[in-house]
């Protein structure tokens, strides 16, 4: 009888717990998530530094890989009118009759530098790719459970309350920007941030 009473008591407690959990509302909290891509403006300026070494007087020929060329020995810059990979070739002709050349692939979509150090009696160069304003940034809102909307803070004194999944913002100046997206739920919110620098 004692075991039957214990079983009945446990069963009654389980039924009461099940009945109580059926009345429980499950709240889904918002989660703010976004990604971004930056598109700089054209043209893209690339500076070239001739690090070639020669035993005598030398002359140079630059092929910028886009149909343009130059014969400058120093102070070489070139503006590219599109983004992409360009094979840049430098040919060195020295007074002793030697000819040497070297080429590097320059990606105009990426800010940065490359090339090689000075070599012994040979052609070589370094390059620096830089972008200028304005910068177009495409944001992709991947937030979930934001039933009450969004607020974007672009870090430049402007914002937006759009519900759009894809959003474009133009930055007029280069610099450091802290971008925030706040996703609002019924009784809560969540914030995602990203640092952007160009």
Could you tell me the domains of the chain?
28-39+133-197 (2.60.40.10), 43-130 (2.60.40.10)
State the pLDDT at residue 44. Answer: 92
Residuewise pLDDT in 10s, the chain (198 residues): 454 444 444 445 544 554 555 566 677 889 989 898 888 889 999 999 999 887 778 999 999 999 999 999 999 999 999 999 999 999 999 888 889 999 999 999 888 888 876 555 678 899 899 888 899 999 999 999 999 999 999 999 999 999 999 999 999 998 899 999 999 998 899 999 999 987
Tokens representing 144? 């979930």
């Amino acid at each position: 009888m004692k075991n039957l009473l214990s079983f009945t008591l446990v069963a009654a407690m389980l039924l009461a717990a099940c009945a109580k959990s059926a009345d429980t509302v499950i709240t889904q909290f918002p989660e703010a998530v976004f990604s971004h891509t930056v598109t700089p403006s054209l043209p893209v300026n690339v500076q070239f530094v001739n690090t070639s070494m020669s035993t005598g007087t030398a002359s140079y020929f630059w092929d910028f890989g886009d149909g343009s060329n130059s014969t400058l020995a120093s102070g070489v810059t070139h503006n590219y009118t599109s983004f992409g990979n360009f094979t840049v070739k430098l040919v060195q002709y020295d007074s002793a009759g030697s000819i040497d050349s070297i080429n590097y692939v320059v990606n105009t979509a990426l800010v940065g530098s490359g090339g090689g150090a000075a070599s012994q009696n040979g052609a070589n160069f370094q390059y620096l790719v830089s972008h200028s304003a304005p910068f177009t940034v495409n944001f992709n809102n991947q937030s979930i459970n934001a039933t009450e909307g969004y607020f974007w803070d672009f870090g430049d004194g402007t914002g937006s309350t759009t519900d759009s999944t894809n959003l474009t913002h133009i930055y007029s100046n280069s610099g450091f920007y802290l971008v925030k997206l706040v996703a609002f739920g019924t009784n809560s919110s969540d914030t995602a941030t990203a640092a952007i620098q160009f």
